[in-house]
Amino acid sequence: MANNPAWTRDELILGLRLYLDEGQLRRDSDLVKDLSATLRGMADVENVANPDSFRSPSAVAKKLANFAALDPLYAGKGLVRGSHGDREVWDEYAADPDNLDLAADAIAHGELLPVEVRADDLEPPEFTKTIIEIERRVAEEFRYLPKRIERIAKRRESDLVESFATHLLHLGHTIERHMYARGRARLFCDLFDETSQTLYEAKGHVRRVAIRMAVGQLYDYARLESMDTEKSVLLPIRPKSDLRELLKFAEISVVWPDEGTFLVEHTSGDVAEVT
């Protein structure tokens, strides 16, 4: 029986985006089934060697396993017998998710995207800032936590932001949440205190990975605010001294709840109530 044709570059791009977004998935995953339907809809299925198995959910799951074998962060082995095309698409896009999204969206809409076109060429040169409703969101570092800890961290972060926002409102502060948009890119801060001109990034745990991510996020957002904007990390407990030194070095204060109020450690090292 003849084999189905090798995956095209366009198909691999769509497959890689699913892998980078969701990781390795089983063939019974709804996301795998959706991609299978998309790929089959893009092709002349009736004229391939094996129409029933062409880009089936099983085939899509195997392709995700091929990408897992190329992923240095994947703990398992993946499916090592991938194609040269897998490696080419991985090398081009795994570290360039903005251009991967552009390419995948163009493919999904039946458009052509020249290889030499980059995301920065297609997006406006400046970010715009919009005030939006304060709401929970899922932090990126959760994907690297064990599932039980992930659930706890998500809940803690959501509760922490809500509790701190309520505290600031009771103090008479004006609080907001900002969305920064540039083309397709969307960035969201957790909380902005208009009264004190302080930008807050909340984390549901005090592991180093969370603190380091918060530092990067705060600087990413702060460059889109006014020059006098203060930066602060909101945490469920006071972090250990080493991490506080990291935040002090980065000129970022740290806030945590304490017996019905919130305390802040300023970059000077002084600790006081948030007022």
Pairing of strands 271-273, 230-234: unpaired
| Overall pTM > 0.85 | no
Contact between residue 29 and residue 21 where contact means Cβ atoms under 8 Å apart: no
Question: pLDDT at residue 117 above 50?
Answer: no
What is the rounded distance in angstroms from the CA atom of residue 14 to the CA atom of residue 31? 12
Q: How far apart are the first and last CA of the chain?
A: 74
pLDDT per residue as tens digits for the range 136-177: 444 444 444 444 445 555 677 888 999 999 999 999 999 999
pLDDT per residue as tens digits for the range 214-230: 999 999 999 999 999 99
Contact between residue 65 and residue 95 where contact means Cβ atoms under 8 Å apart: no
Contact between residue 35 and residue 74 where contact means Cβ atoms under 8 Å apart: no
In this predicted structure, what is the pLDDT of residue 183?
64
In this predicted structure, what is the pLDDT of residue 10?
92
Structure tokens belonging to residue 100: 């991967």
Q: List alpha helices for 171-257, DSSP H.
A: 208-222, 241-249
Those residues with Cβ within 8 angstroms of residue 269's Cβ, 6 or more apart along the chain or in another chain: 248
Domain 128-273 has CATH 3.40.1350: yes
CA distances to 154, 190, 209, 218 from 214, in Å: 15, 11, 9, 6
In this predicted structure, what is the pLDDT of residue 137?
47
Q: What residues does each domain of the chain span?
A: 9-122, 128-273
* Element of type H or E holding 20: helix 9-22
Encode 166-183: b = buried (16+ Cβ within 10 Å), e = exposed.
ebbeeeebebebbebbbe
Quickly state the pLDDT bin for 127 (edges 50, 70, 90): confident
Please give the biggest Cα pair distance in the chain: 75
In this predicted structure, what is the pLDDT of residue 140?
44
Question: pLDDT at residue 185 above 80?
Answer: no
Structure tokens belonging to residue 199: 């930008």
CA distances to 165, 178, 237 from 217, in Å: 19, 13, 20
For residue 158, the one-letter residue type is S
What is the rounded distance in angstroms from the CA atom of residue 271 to the CA atom of residue 255? 9
Chain Cα centroid distance, residue 67: 19
Mean pLDDT of the region 1-22: 87
Structure tokens belonging to residue 98: 């903005």
